[in-house]
Chain A
């Protein structure tokens, strides 16, 4: 059983076919990368998986259950978390609050809980959530920044905070949308270790990335997308020498001279 399965997924925006009959599976416990030139539909696929869009045709299955028409908040509860290509943090809240919001689905007290703030049940839950949030912050080396506002973090730290917030969901599948974008080589090396450690803790990773060195060194499998169509899939070595992939990135003619 694969963890996530895209079955002939198509999405149209008016006349534009952004994703065209894509079949894709993510296996339990792997690190799968999705690459492709700009505008190939990578982020659209992430938006489809997290319920921001619904497929026009085809369906998506998570743990063999259909999720094609589910809302984003259902999917977080089901165990899918994500980060965004452009940073989407809760800027005016503290780092800790950001992660606590990520842990939202792990709590259950709502308005009544707010008014029963000092009862042991609500306090217990709050303490549990806070401990879990610190746990997640530790995993991305941000625990010492817990009280700072998210907007005051450095760019690399903001990217890591997005990952911590995703982890707080306690996901089975973590989608990372260009996690290394804008990072310097040192930060990328740290990120690489971090992502591998997260996978080793039992979270399946599916990522979109432009940095080929990063992709090649982290992925177990790579899928390549071009103009909304999947053109190749396989281990990094095979992708590197695949003529279709080289053509998509460098154009026709590059294949012969390569």
Chain B
């Protein structure tokens, strides 16, 4: 099985494969941030910091213990979630802009901490040995990406997800309906950080070299761009946003130094013409049904009890 996958991944152009893997990792990161910012409505400007926690944890585990990759990733995600909780617990009491600034501050602190720890090799960064798994990286990344997509879809369409959306829409009303908003915000934040940690672990082993400066403010903004561009709170949106923004700089490579200029203009145009994001406010399921099956929206099938 592993050999077959290996031969498939060897037969694909490595450049294409690399873009493909980057998309998968970007989707995981974007979906994590989408849960915090899009669904729960807490603007997080430091998501890359939790990614760095996961990346360094996974790298250090592979270097020192060489645990199986799946266990390694789970630990990396959990540590990122715990760091997220430790930071989120005090600052999730802040609202709006104040919360955003606080996440920004803690992200910078984490970066400086990693730049000064011996175990992360300070500013030199870490070279990461290959992951302890027989499955080739591209397949591994996409396997996890699909798991994450399914997981967050379940989360958003559950009682838990509804509570998160209620907090985004109106926190006071949500509390009066019996939702402990502090607890739910912390849980959402922890799950988002867990996904960031997993994304970071995959990133570290795919790129094979990590440096604290890779996870600076601009990386956080990149992830936020994906979520906003796709449409806050929309899972298909986050997937499309992550894909477009990962592919766009590559397609624009032929313009060499004007590349980022066009990239920036692209963002401005999208925000002017689709201020809610590409798929913001779109019911994706209904859209797919309409396009592919020509079906009209279906009424929920619930029997109403006679009164």
Interface residues of A (CB under 8 A from B): 50, 52, 71-73, 75-77, 81-82, 84, 88-93, 96-97, 100-102, 104-105, 107, 109-111, 113-115, 117, 122, 125-127, 129-131, 134-135, 138, 143, 146-147, 165, 169
Contacts and interface: CB of A to CB of B under 8 A. Distances in A.
A147 B158 contact: no
B178 A109 contact: no
Nearest to A82: B176
Contact of A72 (B155, B170, B176, B299): B176
Given A90-B170, A97-B165, A104-B159, A72 B175 contact: yes
Contacts of A130: 300, 302
Interface in B158-193: 158-163, 165-166, 169-170, 172-181, 187, 191
29 contacts: A52-B175, A72-B172, A73-B179, A75-B176, A76-B178, A81-B177, A90-B165, A93-B165, A96-B300, A97-B162, A100-B159, A101-B165, A102-B177, A104-B159, A104-B162, A104-B179, A109-B158, A111-B160, A111-B191, A113-B160, A114-B160, A114-B161, A117-B154, A130-B300, A131-B303, A135-B305, A138-B307, A147-B300, A169-B177
B31 to A, nearest CB: 14
A134 B305 CA distance: 9
Q: Interface centre among A101, A129, A135, by most B CB within 10 Å?
A: A101
Nearest to B303: A131
Nearest to B155: A114
Interface of B: 151, 154-155, 157-163, 165-166, 169-170, 172-181, 187, 191, 281, 297, 299-300, 302-305, 307
Contact of B299 (A110, A111, A147): A147
B302 A101 contact: no
A188 B87 CA distance: 50
A222 B169 CA distance: 34
Contacts of A114: 154-155, 157-161
B178 A104 contact: yes
B85 to A, nearest CB: 14
Q: Interface centre among A82, A111, A130, A134, by most B CB within 10 Å?
A: A111
Contacts of B170: 88-91
Nearest to A52: B172
Contacts of B181: 73
A88 B172 contact: yes
Contact of B159 (A76, A107, A115): A107
Contacts, number: 123
Contacts of A82: 176
The 9 closest A-B pairs by CB, nearest first: A76-B178, A114-B158, A90-B169, A105-B178, A72-B175, A88-B173, A114-B155, A101-B166, A117-B154
A73 B160 CA distance: 15
A143 B304 contact: yes
B160 A93 contact: no
A140 to B, nearest CB: 13
Contacts of B173: 84, 88-90
Contacts of B175: 52, 71-73
A40 to B, nearest CB: 22
Contacts of B169: 89-93
A239 B260 CA distance: 73
Given A84-B173, A117-B157, A100 B178 contact: no
B166 A110 contact: no
Given A115-B155, A130-B300, A77 B178 contact: yes
A101 B304 contact: no
A227 B179 CA distance: 33
Contacts of B162: 93, 97, 100-101, 104
B177 A165 contact: yes
B300 A146 contact: yes
Nearest to B181: A73
